[in-house]
Structure 1
Amino acid sequence: MLVIWNADHRAYKKLTILTQKNGCDTNVNGKISHQADTEIMTTTSANQYCSPQTKKTLRLSFSPSLITLGTAQLGLEYGLANRSGMPTATEAENILNTAHTGGITSFDTARNYGCSEERIGHWLKTKKHHETKIISKLPPINAASSTNVSVLVRKFLNASIAALRTHKIDLLLAHRGSDLLNEDVIKALEQAKIDGCIDNIGASVYDPEIAKCLIRSTPISAIQVPVSILDTRMVNEGVLEYAYGSGVAVFARSVFLQGVVFMKTVDLPRHLKPLLEPITALQHIASDLGLPMNALALNAVRDLHEIASIVLGVERAEQLAPHIANISLPPLPKDVLDQILNVTRTIPHDIVNPSHW
């Protein structure tokens, strides 16, 4: 079953779509094919949505799935709205299997995510998912350390490769993006790329100016930045547009702002009370469209044409299915996207920056 817009944009209208002769169909890998015979389109996957915009990722050597599974939750008790704690090893494997079955091929982890890399490594080894792409992160590098920077970089990288039980990492991000402004760090990573230990270099960034500087002056293939319906700084300050125009893939993280997007306004902690009015306004927009908040939040970010992939994490496997279904919904109308940006444009950054909570 697919969902399409009513002409008046006031609600989603659920219809079973029959593809006609020579109609457009989409398979589990998100590829378009033309069917000679009429059939019912029922398959849903994280790659199924056909964006009206071409995803331009010239520097990145692989195409990520529209959803990248964030795995901080697999190794830590992570997230403000997390009520279930860190999953067991069995549940972690269920999450990874559910993601893979749902068409997710890219997985985001980090050396600092507890046992996340080890759990992914065990899963990769036992399931032999050769088509998966692994994104990990280099811990912050202490430039004042007496240890040679290149030695530190290779030490951390080797530890990640060993934990993941692989011979290389498809994309290695500097967990503290500003570390890539250190020439020695860049040299060490470029050497690791030459040695076949990594395929792509990138950065996880919070600050728009640092993001622009890295795009302009370093050989990164990707950036990972916070983007949500409550945090649109990277949109407003031109980071996404600059990255896209430079051929740098943009991975959006914190799309649900650690679960704050889902919280009832009465449950907002005191330091987040300034979000009461914008969240209420967004809930009204979602209600008018006949959408749950998670679908509105996810697809508002998905429909930014600069976004290559959205990093999502879950504590339980069953939490993933709605996201995989929602990512395949049709694009939101442009006037709705404009309305969302207008609602959230003036939210102070300190309020939506989890490092300040």
Structure 2
Amino acid sequence: MSLHSVPNRARLGLGTAQFAEPRGRGGEAEIRAILDTAAPAGVTLVDTSAAYGDAERALGRSWPFPSPFSVITRSVRLSEGLDRLEHRARRSLERLGIARAEGLLVQSAEDLHGPDGPALWARLERLKGEGLFQKIGFSAHAEDDPATLARRYNPDVVQVPVSMLDQRLVADGTLDKLAAQGVEVHLRSVFLKGLLFMDREALPACLTHAGPRLSRIRRMLAESGADPLQAALSFAMDRPEASAVIVGVASAAELRAVIAASYQPAPRLDWAALSLEDRTALDPRQWVSTAA
């Protein structure tokens, strides 16, 4: 049974940021094991980034042949310059060992808000016109107002953080607006950096104040008989606006657990009651900056 055969569910995709960590969390043998686990289950969308050149090279050496995988990659920041950004996008294809990719996303939507945003977008359109990327789009945070950017640039794909804990873009109608514009919506950070699974004692110092709320959420899940992994996946994959849900794993065993959980029926939960409102907790970028 393939995930594609499950009706009305988003496509499950594989994030690869962990592949760039020291020693590749097990090296290329583990990457090949992850890919060998993903393909038979229909997990054939792979999300990578030019910022993780080592991960791209490792993937390029690990694809099965012929490869069933479709690749979405992301640009470097505009601060490196338009020519450098274009060069790195082309270089990503070389590292990955592919002639073309399914998509290219602007790494940070903040770059599109700036005065050079139109020039940046024109550069992506040129790469798409050359046939190097089938789709173009951007990766955004909740604060980036992705629906407004989508109206301005008419992207094929928008990637945004949405999770059971972070429901802001559901509650404010952003996902509805993106879907209404015909945008392919990819959800990322569906486990919010593992926050749901952290023991209270393991929380970063800047998040200790969120501990009681997280404990209550875990208790509500337990009282409903819901597994946290299954609940988090169900919330994301059952979003009607979503086309894909990107999950990051560090091992084939983790991926097998995710795939198994994705096949389970959605638990009956009061989703709104399971969200966090704390902005620091909802933005992992602040976990480090506020940790001191």
Relative to the length of structure 1, the TM-score reads: 0.74
CA distances 1:271-299 after superposition (whole Å, capped 9, x unpaired): 11232233222222322332321111111
Q: Tell me, yes or no, if structure 1 residue 190 matches structure 2 residue 128.
A: no
Once the two structures are superposed, the pairs formed by residues 1-357 of structure 1 within 5 Å of their partners are 27-28=1-2, 46-51=3-8, 66-76=11-21, 86-124=25-63, 126-129=64-67, 131-142=68-79, 149=82, 151-181=83-113, 182-333=117-268, 336=269, 339-344=270-275, 347-357=277-287
Pairwise CA RMSD: 2.0
Task: After TM superposition, give the deviation of residue 74 of structure 1 in Å.
Answer: 0.9
Instruction: Specify the SS of the correspondent of 2:25.
Output: coil
The code of the aligned residue for 2:77 comes to P
The code of the aligned residue for 1:169 comes to A
Map of 2:290 onto structure 1: none
Contact 2:158-2:184 within 8 A present in 1 as well: yes
Q: For structure 1, which segment, 261-270 or 154-163, has the greater mean C-alpha deviation from structure 2 after superposition?
A: 261-270
The code of the aligned residue for 2:284 comes to P
The code of the aligned residue for 2:181 comes to S
Contact 1:76-1:113 within 8 A present in 2 as well: no
Instruction: Give distance in 2, aligned partners of 1:225 and 1:152.
Output: 25
CA distances 1:138-159 after superposition (whole Å, capped 9, x unpaired): 01112xx6x5x2x233211111
Contact 2:210-2:278 within 8 A present in 1 as well: no
Contact 1:71-1:313 within 8 A present in 2 as well: yes
Task: After TM superposition, give the deviation of residue 105 of structure 1 in Å.
Answer: 1.1
Task: After TM superposition, give the deviation of residue 318 of structure 1 in Å.
Answer: 0.5
Contact 1:250-1:308 within 8 A present in 2 as well: yes
Instruction: Give distance in 1, aligned partners of 2:217 and 2:229.
Output: 11
May I ask how many residue pairs the two structures share in their alignment?
Answer: 284
Contact 2:53-2:92 within 8 A present in 1 as well: no
Task: After TM superposition, give the deviation of residue 101 of structure 1 in Å.
Answer: 2.1
Instruction: Give distance in 1, aligned partners of 2:151 and 2:36.
Output: 38
Contact 1:228-1:297 within 8 A present in 2 as well: yes
The code of the aligned residue for 1:243 comes to L
Q: Among all aligned residue pairs of Structure 1 and Structure 2, give the percentage whose two residues are the same amino acid.
A: 26
Asked which structure has the greater CA Rg, the reply is 1
Relative to the length of structure 2, the TM-score reads: 0.90
